[in-house]
Chain A
């Protein structure tokens, strides 16, 4: 047989559904989106014992089929739409042995849709510790299904799920609950109005705000023989349904599920006492935060430096190996630089998600939400805003995506809007170079001014996020009454495999999501920077050569060459005096000549590149915006860098490197070059305390990130919010930078 069996994995959150999915499918899975919405769609395939194939769909976690979020609607829509190509031949409901009662609520609902349903009882390894004993056969009879007892931690029972799936034809598809018992008279009329349809499906259509085939909501509303009830009455009936379901479950488990409370030993109680303690709870959370920051900002520098070097080397290699031309330039300076700009952030993103998924898998994250909720609420945020705000220190893109867990739309929107204020890692290179330039060395109470400045900038970002949240909380008139509820799962050791999958998946979605935009922008920037329409641009080489021949190299280049030569001479002298090499004046002279020629050639090329950039399209753009940025203390060159870094903040440093024609991204050279740059009067350095602080403040507040705008558009489903965000942040950043410069100058 060639057709594969469609299997839907369904279950409450925290039941280990994803672990079951991972173990069933291994690496054969793909993650996408449901068309038109942002809910993740995970699909994989699995080979069954009888040789046939199964397509496994991992549906979003849900407590029941009464939907309150988009994620949950996906589940209901799929289960009701027989025409959907993913419609399951068999549903596998994953439950957790400790919370079986609650998990069975969802099970009975799915079974009542007359879909063949298998029950998986996961976490069987915890049974003896919790004093739980099961009568599987009795339970199978009571619930009218087949059960697989599974432990994903030990990897047991997975084969049994596979053989039950292969044998799905033998499953009963009769319902657990007689729907008409909810309200006999009402359902009687409903059945009479639609004699051909299944009652429970009709009930779902009436109560759920989802669209599906073949019974349309409209048809029921239009039916003259049948009057629907008011919202209040329907809610009453839903309550009654829940009570009836629990009655059924209680009687089914009465004889088959036993808990010996004396045998139960709980880690939960003792851990909760410490981790949610009024003092220790916060101290522990603070310590964990410090650890995360340490990883993001310290440990990840090693792989980042490595990546940086590799990309620089690859660029050089391409330039030296391929024949020179537009294509080579595009490859080396546009595409490769663009990809490098994305890959460089992978270590930080991976570290961040490593920690977040460890904290989530272990059950700790719910405790943080519990601790922080009340403290965040005055600002219009929720305890669930903590994860996005922490993520924001690495990158706003995954942070904005992490807001999906916030049920309340207003709280979620505010979180999305303020997250970009937190200091993301792309700001770091900009801050570092400016701090090194304009903040004096020296220290107060053992803390260096430079480190203090950096810390202040971080606090400023976070403070601004909180402050604007409370402003938004007052301005936004969104009434969204939705329930805040956090499940506090049992503590468990995270499964390495799950953590690895999460890190891999999130990193991939960052690389491909944000990557596309960053890559596109860097190609556009490369084009605008290496092309121009003016005569000055076209004849750049001749003009600069002529200038150098008549006026000599620029003062900076001359200085640079002189310094290098001096260093070289000292070097030779040093070698001569410590006797490591015999002084041979001829050799020294020759090497000096070669070096000088090399340096001259390099300086000439750099000045040409610089002149070209000045007269390229982007150069003209920079000159055009100079009047706007001048009050902030910037010249047209910084203007260009601000403009290009709209794509992504870190582009700022690279652009300045190109403009100042230092030819390499090496920080020390750019820094020296920037320090040597004079303002228009030609008397004092362009980068002084006033302009430096003004720039830092600008980068702290401005929405300089296309990818974030794109992701906000996706998550809020309209251009309205990203545009408001862009306008507000840019104007605010401009005003703050303006004020700072005018006062300090």
Chain B
């Protein structure tokens, strides 16, 4: 299982279907919905919190929450 927490700087992933009750509704409202792309913009020292761009929303979330968002890693051909 790969989650947002595993993504490196600049890496992208697509949010997988998740069982309904895990994620807080707030996160969904900001666009964290299955099928949407998540990109890690910046990671704070000690790898927490994580600053992501999901569906155009730029938000910072704690690692514990990021670990609950399951994704498929998207290979970006432009990044190395």
Residues of A that sit less than 8 Å from B by CB: 63-64, 66, 68, 98-99, 101-102, 105, 232, 235-236, 238-240, 242-243, 246, 268-269, 272-273, 276, 278, 366, 369-371, 373-375, 383, 483-490
Contact = CB atoms under 8 A, between A and B. Distances in A.
Nearest to A489: B58
Contacts of A371: 44-45
Given A484-B62, A485-B61, A66 B55 contact: no
Contact of A268 (B24, B55, B58): B58
A239 B58 contact: no
Among B23, B33, B44, residue most surrounded by chain A Cβ atoms (within 10 Å): B44
A485 B59 contact: yes
B29 A63 contact: yes
A488 B25 contact: no
B42 to A, nearest CB: 5
B56 A239 contact: no
Contacts of A63: 26, 29-30
Contacts of B33: 242-243, 246
Interface string B20-52: 110111111111011000000110111011010
Contacts of A102: 29-31, 55-57
Nearest to A246: B33
Interface residues of B, number: 30
A214 to B, nearest CB: 26
Contacts of B48: 373-374
Nearest to B46: A374
27 contacts: A63-B26, A66-B29, A99-B57, A235-B25, A246-B33, A269-B41, A272-B41, A276-B44, A278-B45, A370-B44, A370-B49, A371-B45, A373-B62, A374-B44, A374-B49, A483-B26, A484-B61, A484-B62, A484-B65, A485-B30, A485-B59, A485-B61, A486-B59, A488-B41, A488-B51, A488-B60, A489-B58
A631 B50 CA distance: 52
Given A63-B26, A66-B25, 19 more contacts: A64-B29, A66-B29, A98-B56, A102-B57, A238-B25, A239-B28, A246-B33, A369-B60, A370-B51, A371-B44, A371-B45, A374-B45, A375-B45, A483-B26, A483-B65, A484-B62, A485-B30, A486-B59, A488-B41
A278 B46 CA distance: 10
A239 B20 contact: yes
A232 B42 contact: no
A230 B56 CA distance: 33
A235 B61 CA distance: 21
Contacts of B23: 239
B26 to A, nearest CB: 6
Interface of B: 20-21, 23-31, 33-34, 41-42, 44-46, 48-49, 51, 55-62, 65
Nearest to B61: A485
The 4 A-B residue pairs with the shortest CB-CB distance in the complex, in nearest-first order:
A488-B58, A236-B20, A486-B60, A374-B48
A280 to B, nearest CB: 12
B59 A488 contact: yes
Contacts of A101: 31, 55-56
A490 to B, nearest CB: 8
A240 B58 CA distance: 23
Contacts of A366: 60
B30 A276 contact: no
Contacts of B28: 239, 242-243
B25 A239 contact: yes
A383 B20 CA distance: 29
Contacts of B21: 232, 235-236, 239
Contacts of B56: 98-99, 101-102
A647 B8 CA distance: 53
A443 to B, nearest CB: 36
A486 B24 CA distance: 14
Contacts of B42: 272-273, 276, 370
B58 A487 contact: yes
A66 to B, nearest CB: 5
A724 to B, nearest CB: 29
A242 B29 contact: yes
Contacts of A240: 20
A483 B24 contact: yes
A383 B29 contact: no
Contact of B27 (A235, A269, A485, A489): A485
Contacts of A98: 56
Nearest to B52: A488
A574 to B, nearest CB: 64
B54 to A, nearest CB: 10
A203 to B, nearest CB: 14
A63 B34 CA distance: 19
B28 to A, nearest CB: 5
Contacts of B29: 63-64, 66, 102, 105, 242
Given A102-B56, A276-B44, A373 B49 contact: yes
A292 B65 CA distance: 34
A5 to B, nearest CB: 30
A58 to B, nearest CB: 21
B61 to A, nearest CB: 6
Contacts of B25: 64, 66, 235, 238-239, 242
Given A236-B20, A236-B21, A485 B26 contact: yes
A485 B60 contact: yes
Contacts of B34: 243
A149 to B, nearest CB: 19
B76 to A, nearest CB: 14
Contacts of B57: 99, 102, 487
Contacts of B62: 373, 484
A490 B65 CA distance: 23
Among B25, B55, B61, residue most surrounded by chain A Cβ atoms (within 10 Å): B25
Contacts of A374: 44-46, 48-49
A391 to B, nearest CB: 21
B8 to A, nearest CB: 15
A486 B62 CA distance: 10
A192 to B, nearest CB: 26
A240 B20 CA distance: 8
A246 B30 CA distance: 10
